[in-house]
Amino acid sequence: MSLRDLTVPELLDEARSGDRRAIGRLLTLVERGGEAADQVAKLTHPDAGKAHVVGITGAPGAGKSTLTGRLAAGLAATGHRVAVVAIDPSSPLNGGAILGDRIRMDEPIHATEGADPNNVFIRSMATRGQSGGLAVAVPGAVRLFDALGFDPVIVETVGVGQIEVDITAASDTTVVVVTPGWGDAVQANKAGLLEVADIFVVNKAERPGASDARRDLELMLDLGGHPAWRPPILMTTAVDNVGIDEVSTAISTHLGHLRESGEIDTRRGVRARSEVATRLHAFLLTRVDETMATTEGEQVLADVDDGTVAPVEAAHRLSNYI
Amino acid sequence: MSLRDLTVPELLDEARSGDRRAIGRLLTLVERGGEAADQVAKLTHPDAGKAHVVGITGAPGAGKSTLTGRLAAGLAATGHRVAVVAIDPSSPLNGGAILGDRIRMDEPIHATEGADPNNVFIRSMATRGQSGGLAVAVPGAVRLFDALGFDPVIVETVGVGQIEVDITAASDTTVVVVTPGWGDAVQANKAGLLEVADIFVVNKAERPGASDARRDLELMLDLGGHPAWRPPILMTTAVDNVGIDEVSTAISTHLGHLRESGEIDTRRGVRARSEVATRLHAFLLTRVDETMATTEGEQVLADVDDGTVAPVEAAHRLSNYI
C-alpha cells in the first residue's frame, strides 16, 4: 500500500523500523505544517531529548555543506546514525542551490570507507515564504530525527538570523564557519556570530589570510573575558577532508561541557520555550492572513491603496477583528 | 525648552523647519514604537510618497556602508537632501560595528566638495531583538524622512531577509552589492539576491575575480529571460570613489522605468499592504509575550520545562488566551 494511506502513528512505526521512505513522508508532513505536523510533534515528544543537536552556520560560500557532509560521513563511519537538516534560505525557485548542497553533502558519505549511507539521513528544507513556516518545521524535523534515534542531529543554515530560524535557539552546540575570503572577525562580530559560537571553524584554511582570520577571532574572544567555555578555533579544508576529525572531537567535548555544567538543561529549556512562542506566532500569523482576506480586511486595504488610510490605522482597525 | 517636552505635532513642526535635533528625537520615538511612533506614522502619512526609496543590500564586508556614504555625498553635492537609514543586524552590544558604519558613511560626506552635511541625515538602527521591532520602525523612519522632504531615502541593510526587514518590501529600487571576495553569482542566487536586484554593483572591483563575478551575474541574468528591466551590473571601488556616479545614474534611470511602466504604483501598493501585515503582526507579538507572562502561561511553560507537555500542545493551550 502507499505511504499516503498510512496514519501518522503507522508512519512512525514504519520509520522506527528504519523505513527511509516513511521518514521522508513524515518530514514532508512536518514541513507542510498543520494538524498532521502537530500530531507528529506530539507523538515524537516523549522519545525526543536524547540527541545532540549541532547547528552549523556561516555566510554563503563558507563551505558549510561540504563541511557538514564530511562531518556526517566521519560520524557514520564510527557507527553513529546521523541526521542532517539543511536549511536553504533561497526561494523554492532555486532548486539548483539545494541540489548543489545535496551533492556536496552526499558525495563524501558515499566516498568514505565504512560510512553506511543508511546511517545518514539528509533533508533539505527551503524557505517556503510563508512566515514562521520553517521556524516551526525545523524544530519539528529535529524532534522527529531525535525520537527516531538519530544522534547527532545536525542543522545547517546560512547566517545567524538570516532566515526566521535562529539556529542558536535550535541547537545544543553551534559551530560558526568562516573563511579568509568571507571577511574578518569584525564582520563575524557584526553579523552577531561571535555571540553564538561554541566552536569556530576557519574553512578553506589553505587560502591566504587564514591565519589572520584566526588571530582576529582570538583577539575578539580575548575581549570577551574568561567565560566557562572559550570557543576553540579550528582550521579546516573541508573539500580535502582536512581537520574534520578535530571538529568532530570539539563537538563531543562541548557536549561534555554542557552536561557537566548543567548548561544543557538551560539551553533546552530556552529552546522549548522559544518553540512555544514560535508556534504561537505561527498560529497568529495565519489569523493575520485570514483577517486581511475578510471583507473588512479587503475594504481597509483598498483604503490603504488609495492613500486615504495610513497603514498604521489599517492595522489598528484590523486588530479588532482578530 | 527641551525637545522631550514637545508633542509629536510640535516636533514635526520643528523638524519641518530643519531642526536636526527634532528629526533625531522623532526617529527615536519611531524606533521605540508604541503610541508616539503610531502618531508619527499617522501624521507623516499625508506628506509621504514623494521620495525615491532606494535599498542597498549585500553580504557583510561588501562595502555597503562606504558605497552608501559615497552615494549620499554625491547626491548632496548635486543639491539633493538625502536620508540614510542604516540597519545594523548585530546585537545592540556591537556598538562598534555601528560606529564603524557611521565613520564609513560620514567621512566621504565631509570630504566631498559641495556636499552640505546639513543636506544629509544618517540614522543607524540596530536590531533590538524584540520581534517585529525594526520591521515596523524602518518603514516608519522612511515615511518620516519622506514627509520631511528628503529624497532619495536610502535604506542600507545586510543580506536580503537576514533581518526581519525585507528591503525589497521597503524600497522602490533595490541595489545589490557583491564583491569578488564574497562569492560568485551562484551564492548571490542562493541568497535570493538575484530575484530582488534592480541594479547590481560589483564593489572592490579592483580585486582579482571582479570580471568573473560580473560574467557570472550576466549568465544568471541571461537565464532569467528578457524582463522589462534587466538589472545593469556596475563596477565600483567605493573607497576610492570610483564608479559612484554611474550607480547614481542607474538609480535615477530605474526610477524613470518604474514611473513609465507604472510599476512604481504596484510596488508601493505591495509595500503598503506588507506594512499593514507587519504592524498587525507586531500587535499580535506583544499579545504573545503578554500571554506567556500570565499565570496560565507560566503554568503551561512549567509543564513544558519538566517535559510533561509538548511545546505544540502548550502553544495550542495558550492560543486560547489570546
A182, A273, A319: residue with CB nearest B283: A319
Of A49-53, B61-65, B246-250, give the lowest mean pLDDT range.
B61-65
B302 touching chain A per CB within 8 A: no
Report the DSSP beta bridge partners of residue A158. A58
The yes-or-no verdict on residue A297 having pLDDT over 50 is yes
CB-based contact B94 A189, cutoff 8 Å: yes
- Residue B45 — very low, low, confident or very high, per pLDDT cuts 50/70/90? very high
- Residue A168 — very low, low, confident or very high, per pLDDT cuts 50/70/90? low
Report the DSSP beta bridge partners of residue A58. A158, A177
A239 touching chain B per CB within 8 A: no
- 509543564: which residue's cell? B303
Using one digit for the tens of pLDDT, what is the confidence trace for A186-215? 555 555 677 788 999 999 999 988 998 898
Of A126-135, A271-280, A292-301, B152-161, give the lowest mean pLDDT range.
A126-135
Distance from C-alpha of B96 to C-alpha of B102, rounded to nearest angstrom = 10
Q: What pLDDT is recorded for position A320?
A: 80
The yes-or-no verdict on residue B91 having pLDDT over 50 is no
Question: Considering only CB atoms, which chain A residues are within 8 Å of B41?
Answer: 310-312
Residues 64-103 of B with CB under 8 A from A: 88-91, 93-94, 96-97, 100
Q: b vs e for B154-184, b when ≥16 Cβ sit within 10 Å of the residue's Cβ?
A: bbbbbbbbbbbbbbbbbbbbbbbbbbbbbbb
Question: Considering only CB atoms, which chain A residues are within 8 Å of B59?
Answer: 59-60
The interface predicted TM-score (ipTM) is 0.80
Q: What pLDDT is recorded for position A285?
A: 77
- Residue B129 — very low, low, confident or very high, per pLDDT cuts 50/70/90? very low
B77-87 mean pLDDT: 92
* CB-CB contact of B159 with B59 (8 Å): yes
Distance from C-alpha of B130 to C-alpha of A281, rounded to nearest angstrom = 13
In this prediction the pTM is 0.68
- 572531537: which residue's cell? A249
Mutation target vs B (from A312, A316, A319, A321; most B CBs, 10 A cutoff): A312
Mean pLDDT of chain B: 84
A312 touching chain B per CB within 8 A: yes
More confident residue, B160 or A43: A43
Using one digit for the tens of pLDDT, what is the confidence trace for A75-104? 999 999 999 998 865 543 333 445 556 666
CB-based contact B61 A276, cutoff 8 Å: no
Q: What pLDDT is recorded for position B261?
A: 96
CB-based contact B161 A158, cutoff 8 Å: no
Sequence-distant (6+) residues with CB within 8 A of A217 are: A178, A185, A188, A194, A200, A202, A233
Q: What pLDDT is recorded for position A185?
A: 52
A41, A162, A280: residue with CB nearest B310: A41
Within 13 Å and on the Cβ side, how many CA atoms surround B236? 30
CB-based contact A159 B163, cutoff 8 Å: no
CB atoms within 10 A of CB A30: 26
CB-based contact A312 B189, cutoff 8 Å: no
Using one digit for the tens of pLDDT, what is the confidence trace for A109-163? 777 777 788 889 999 887 554 445 677 888 999 999 999 999 999 999 865 444 4
Distance from CA of A247 to the nearest CA of B (A): 24
CB-based contact A305 B269, cutoff 8 Å: yes
Strand locations in chain A (E): 53-58, 82-88, 120-126, 153-158, 173-178, 199-202, 233-235
Using one digit for the tens of pLDDT, what is the confidence trace for B233-272? 999 999 999 999 999 999 999 999 999 999 999 999 888 8
Residue among B63, B82, B86, B64 nearest B73 (CA): B82
CB-based contact A190 B291, cutoff 8 Å: no
Distance from CA of B77 to the nearest CA of A (A): 30
Walk across the sheet containing B53-58 and list its strands: B120-126, B82-88, B153-158, B53-58, B173-178, B199-202, B233-235
Chain centre to alpha carbon of residue B19: 23
Mutation target vs A (from B87, B195, B280; most A CBs, 10 A cutoff): B280
CB-based contact A60 B275, cutoff 8 Å: no
CB-based contact A277 B269, cutoff 8 Å: no
CB-based contact A292 B300, cutoff 8 Å: no
**Counting Cβ atoms within 10 Å, is residue A304 exposed (0-12), middle (13-18) or buried (19+)?**
buried
Distance from C-alpha of A176 to C-alpha of A201, rounded to nearest angstrom = 6
The yes-or-no verdict on residue B178 having pLDDT over 60 is yes
CB atoms within 10 A of CB B187: 21
Q: Is A61 helix (H, G, I), strand (E, B) or coil?
A: coil
Q: How many H helices and E strands in chain B?
A: 14, 7
**Counting Cβ atoms within 10 Å, is residue A169 exposed (0-12), middle (13-18) or buried (19+)?**
buried
B294 touching chain A per CB within 8 A: no
The yes-or-no verdict on residue B72 having pLDDT over 90 is yes
The yes-or-no verdict on residue B185 having pLDDT over 60 is no
A131 touching chain B per CB within 8 A: yes
CB-based contact A277 B292, cutoff 8 Å: yes
Q: Please give the share of chain B, as a percent, with pLDDT higher than 70.
A: 84
- Chain A, chain B: beta-carbon pairs less than 8 Å apart: 203
A159, A182, A281: residue with CB nearest B288: A281
* CB-CB contact of B219 with B212 (8 Å): no
CB-based contact B183 A311, cutoff 8 Å: no
Nearest CA in chain B to A285: B281
A207 touching chain B per CB within 8 A: no
